[in-house]
Amino acid sequence: MRSHVMLVYCQERIDAARFSVNDAILRWFAISRGNTFQFMKHDNYVIDDMLSAKAIAARVESMAQEISEYFRDTEKLVVIGLLRGSFMFIADLVRELSLPVEVDFLETSSYGDSMESSREVRILKDLRGEIKGRDILVVEDIVDTGHTLNHVVGLLRSREPGRMMVCALLDKPTRREVDVRADIVGFEIPDKFVVGYGIDYAQRNRNLPYIGAVRFTD
């Protein structure tokens, strides 16, 4: 009986040791590849989970269905991604669209390394193609104060496209300063600074497969 208890105890110790070795290898592997985990500190902040990769994928699929339905009779849809934050979203979204599509990109001035909108929007990179008379889908990562989307929508409208739809993965409605809305929103989120799934904080954390909120630790 005693030897049996000893045996179980030893087995537990071996399992625990094996687990912590595996864990250390996994962490080292993730860190060496530039990935980040929730428990990792980034200088002075941690990232709290907000939307899992699975929840994002499910929502992207349902948004794509809605968009495909709306543009079902289009000759070809021009999907316009707003760089850089929407690159992951646009990549997943176009794969779920059951329509003929073209992809183009527009880059506007960003927050730089700050967490505050500059409120002054400049076009850093314009579209390659013409959109006059064509159906377009504008793909944005987050609508925050609304200045960026407002400016972009005004600019694209002035080029007289056919039908235009705006889709945003995230919306922070409580932060709005100008009256602008996306036609389809993936998730409404609270007033928190988020990263992951293409979205950055000072160019970091874009490669996270999920979305999390930045929380400062000092």
184 in Cβ contact with 194 (< 8 Å):
no
**Residue 215: exposed, middle, or buried by beta-carbon count in 10 A (0-12, 13-18, 19+)?**
exposed
Q: Which residues, listed in sequence order, are joined to residue 46 by a DSSP beta bridge?
A: 215
CA separation for the pair 55, 61 (Å, rounded): 10
The single residue among 42, 193, 204, 210 that binds ligand IMP, judged by CB under 6 A, is: 193
Q: How many residues bind ligand IMP (CB under 6 A)?
A: 17
148 counts as binding ligand IMP under rule CB under 6 A? yes
> Of residues 93, 143, 164, 169, which one binds ligand IMP by CB under 6 A?
143
Rounded CA-CA distance 197/85 in Å is 8
Radius of gyration of the chain, Cα coordinates, nearest whole angstrom:
22
Q: CB of 104: closest distance to ligand IMP in angstroms?
A: 17
> Can residue 50 be called a binding residue for ligand IMP (CB under 6 A)?
no
CB of residue 55 to Mg ion, shortest distance in Å: 21
State how far the Cα of 15 lies from the Cα of 172, in Å rounded to an integer. Answer: 45
Residue 149's alpha-carbon distances to 49, 54, 83, 97, 185, in angstroms, are 26, 27, 12, 22, 13
* 144 part of the active site: yes
Three-state secondary structure call for residue 205: coil
Q: Which is nearer to ligand IMP, 100 or 154 (CB)?
A: 154
Q: Contacts with Mg ion in 47-86 (CB under 5 A)?
A: 85
Site string for Mg ion, 114-153 (x = CB under 5 A): ---------------------------x------------
Is residue 111 at the binding interface for ligand IMP, with CB under 6 A as the rule? yes
User: Which of 92, 135, 144, 171 is an active site residue?
Assistant: 144
CB of 218 vs ligand IMP, minimal distance in Å? 20
Residues at the site binding ligand IMP, with contacts judged by CB under 6 A: 85, 110-111, 117, 140-149, 193-194, 199
Q: Which positions are annotated as active-site residues? A: 144
